[in-house]
Amino acid sequence: MDGGVLHQATADGVIEIVEISLKFFPDLLWYMYNNRSILHCAIENRREKLFNLMIDLMAQNTFAASKLDEVSNNILHLAAKLAPSPQLNAVSGSALQMQRELQWFKEVEKMVNTGFKLGRNSLGRTPRELFTESHKDLLEKGEKWMKDTSNSCMVVSTLIATVVFAAAFTVPGGNINDKGIPIFLKKNSFLVFAVSDALALFSSTASLLMFLSILTSRYAEEDFLVSLPRKLVLGLASLFVAIATMMIAFGAAFSIVIGERYDWVYIPVIVLACIPVSLFAILQLPLFWKIAISTYGPGISRPRRKVKLKSA
As a 3-state breakdown, the chain gives helix, strand, coil percent values, each rounded to 5, of 70, 0, 30
List, for residues 203-249, the tens digit of each pLDDT value: 999 999 999 999 999 999 999 999 999 999 999 999 999 999 998 88
Distance (Å, rounded) from C-alpha 72 to C-alpha 113?
16
Which sign does the torsion angle of CA 260, 266, 267, 268 carry?
positive
What pLDDT is attached to residue 64?
54
> What is the per-residue pLDDT for 285?
86
pLDDT for the residue numbered 60: 47
Burial letters 73-88, b for 16+ CB under 10 A, else e:
bbbbbbbbbbbeeebb
Res 58: pLDDT = 56
pLDDT at residue 204, as a whole number: 95
pLDDT of residue 75: 86
CB distance 82 to 134 below 8 Å: yes
C-alpha torsion 206→212→214→219, nearest 10: -150
Low-confidence ranges of the chain (pLDDT < 70): 1-3, 57-66, 171-186, 259-266, 301-312
Picking from 5, 56, 13, 52, the residue whose alpha carbon sits closest to that of residue 33 is 5
Q: What is the pLDDT of residue 101?
A: 95
CA 104/CA 101 separation, integer angstroms:
5
45: nearest Cα among 96, 7, 95: 7
**pLDDT of amino acid 309:** 47
At 74 the pLDDT is 85
pTM score over 0.75: yes
Cβ–Cβ contacts within 10 Å for residue 68, how many?
17
